[in-house]
Every structure is written in C-alpha cells, then in structure tokens.
C-alpha cells in the first residue's frame, strides 16, 4: 500500500484539486468564451439584475476573505506552544452585537434595493402589456417540449390567423410579454441572456416580460427538473432586428400553416383561444 493512502489530509487535497480542475468544465459549459462569468446580458433589465448579483458577490466575497483570513491568522497565532496556557472566555458581547447588526443592516438594504427590480420583472400589473408596441407570446410547456403561440397578421388574439411554432422568435427593442402555462408538471422557462426565468405552474397562467437590445440566437433551457427527458427541453430563441422582422415573421407564418380548428393542435385544445381574451387586461 502507498504510504499515506489512509491519510484524510491527502484525500482532502486531492478533492480540492479536482474541484478546481472540474469546476470550469462543469459550470463554464457553453460559455467557455466567458469562462467563469455570467452569460452575456442582452437587456437593460438584465443589467440591473447583474449589478445586484455583483454587489452581493463582492460583499459576500469580502466577508468570506476577511473571516477566513482571520481564522487562519488566529489558528497560526494561537497554535499549541510549549508551556502555553489555556484561557477560558465567554465571548465578547460588544463584538457579537457589531457582527450581527452590520449584516442585518446590509441584508435589509439589499432587500429594499431589490424590490423595484422584482416588481419590474415579475409584477404583471407593471409589465408593459398595454404598450401598443408590445409583442405577446403564449408559451406552453409540456413533457418534454416548448410550444409558442403567436398572433397572426391582424395582431389580434382569438382569430383564425393565430399560429403555433416550436421556436421562440421575437423582435429586438420591443417589450415581449410572455404568458406561460404548463400542460403537465412544473417547468421553468429560462432565457439566460435575458435573465428571464419563470416557472410554468400547472393550473396558472404566469406572466413575464423582457426587452432585448441585441439580435441573435441563444439557448432555452428548462430550469426545473421535470422528468426523465428533462434535458430534451433544450430549445432555441431568436431575437430579430426590426429591419428583418417582417420577413422573419412572414416565414414563421408560412412554416406554421393555417390552424385547423376542426382538428386543433394540442396547444389550442389545452389552452382554448377563447380563454386568452378573458385573461388579458
């Protein structure tokens, strides 16, 4: 047997090395160009979330380094010495009050600071639903795929030109309203670059919104483990330049074909179009 094989210290070192080697591969997947960083942010609302993220990161990072630094310092300073005497201490009331009050105040500050962001991102009453420019999409999640329903060229719901596609395609610069339902279990629509993440809860219609400032194609993930083929819910979303929008929209319409109401798709059967009008507003 190799010497030291049973030594927990050696195994702890091996585990630490493995953790550092493995982490970028595991967590940095598909974002290799950005390494450990968050994926690129493509909306102003997403930037606000990132700023909050980084503020918390630096605050907790500083506290982590300070407390671990103090720990190491004291371990070394007060290590066992020949002739050293033990000291009984009951703690220091003043210091304990200080390190309880300061984090409490910081936590309260963060709590207050995030309220606006939360309301902007999540409150259906604040989402720009009535904006004449708003582009609304109905998203239906099911094991194990996403379906997207769009208004037809008449720009009205509940008319014969509404159509369903398997891809999320939306215009750049306009507010996009997402109405989300699930046909079976809880799923979560995650558009990482937009910092958009919303659970699809069976029995409810969830509302969310975003406004992209960059055109391109990115990945959709289901961020809620929803069954054995959860991984199959990887999809793609597309943000289209205003100049290219009419052509892209026409192509979607073409690909989808007309809705056959005598033989409705699962989407229309589960989420009757008549219900749409009553949910709006």
In the complex, the residues that contact Cu ion under the rule CB under 5 A are 187, 222, 226, 233
Exposed/middle/buried for residue 163 (C-beta within 10 Å: 0-12, 13-18, 19+)? buried
In the complex, the smallest distance separating the C-beta of residue 220 from Cu ion, rounded to whole angstroms, is: 10
In the complex, the smallest distance separating the C-beta of residue 133 from Cu ion, rounded to whole angstroms, is: 30
**Shortest CA distance to 254 belongs to which of 136, 161, 158?**
161
**Shortest CA distance to 281 belongs to which of 143, 157, 148?**
157
Residue (191 or 222) nearer to Cu ion, CB: 222
Residue (18 or 225) nearer to Cu ion, CB: 225
* Residue 180 Cα distances to 117, 188, 190, angstroms: 20, 9, 12
In the complex, the smallest distance separating the C-beta of residue 222 from Cu ion, rounded to whole angstroms, is: 3
CB atoms within 10 A of CB 50: 14
In the complex, the smallest distance separating the C-beta of residue 86 from Cu ion, rounded to whole angstroms, is: 57
Residue (189 or 212) nearer to Cu ion, CB: 189
Length of the chain: 281
Which residues are within 8 A (CB) of 29 and not within 5 positions of it... i.e. 6 or more apart? none
Residue (164 or 189) nearer to Cu ion, CB: 189
What one-character DSSP code corresponds to residue 193? G
CB atoms within 10 A of CB 93: 8
**Shortest CA distance to 161 belongs to which of 18, 259, 24, 230?**
259
Residue (139 or 233) nearer to Cu ion, CB: 233
In the complex, the smallest distance separating the C-beta of residue 172 from Cu ion, rounded to whole angstroms, is: 27
In the complex, the smallest distance separating the C-beta of residue 147 from Cu ion, rounded to whole angstroms, is: 12
C-alpha 129: how far from chain center: 21
Residue (63 or 223) nearer to Cu ion, CB: 223
């Amino acid at each position: 047997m190799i010497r030291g094989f049973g030594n927990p210290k050696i195994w702890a070192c091996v585990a630490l090395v493995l953790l550092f080697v493995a982490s970028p591969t595991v967590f940095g997947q598909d974002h290799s160009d950005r390494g450990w960083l968050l994926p690129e942010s493509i909306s102003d609302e997403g930037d606000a979330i990132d700023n909050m993220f980084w503020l918390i990161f630096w605050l907790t990072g500083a506290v982590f380094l300070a407390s671990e630094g103090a720990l190491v310092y004291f371990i070394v300073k007060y290590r066992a010495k020949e002739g050293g005497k033990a000291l009984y201490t009951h703690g220091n009331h003043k210091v304990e009050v200080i390190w309880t009050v300061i984090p409490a105040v910081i936590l309260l500050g963060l709590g207050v600071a995030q309220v606006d962001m939360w309301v902007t991102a999540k409150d259906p009453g604040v989402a720009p639903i009535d904006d004449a420019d708003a582009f609304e999409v109905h998203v239906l999640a099911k094991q194990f795929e996403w379906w997207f329903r769009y208004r037809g060229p008449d720009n009205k719901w509940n008319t014969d030109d509404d159509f369903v596609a398997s891809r999320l395609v939306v215009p750049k610069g306009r507010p996009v309203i997402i109405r989300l339902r699930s046909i079976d279990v809880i799923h979560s629509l995650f558009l990482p670059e937009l910092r958009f993440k919303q659970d699809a809860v069976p029995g409810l219609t969830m509302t969310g919104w975003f406004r992209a400032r960059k055109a391109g194609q990115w990945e959709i993930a289901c961020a809620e483990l929803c069954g054995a083929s959860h991984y199959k819910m990887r999809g793609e979303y597309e943000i289209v330049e205003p100049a290219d929008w009419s052509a892209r929209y026409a192509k979607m319409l073409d690909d989808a074909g007309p809705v056959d109401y005598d033989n409705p798709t699962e989407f229309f059967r589960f989420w009757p179009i008549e219900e749409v009008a009553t949910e709006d507003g």
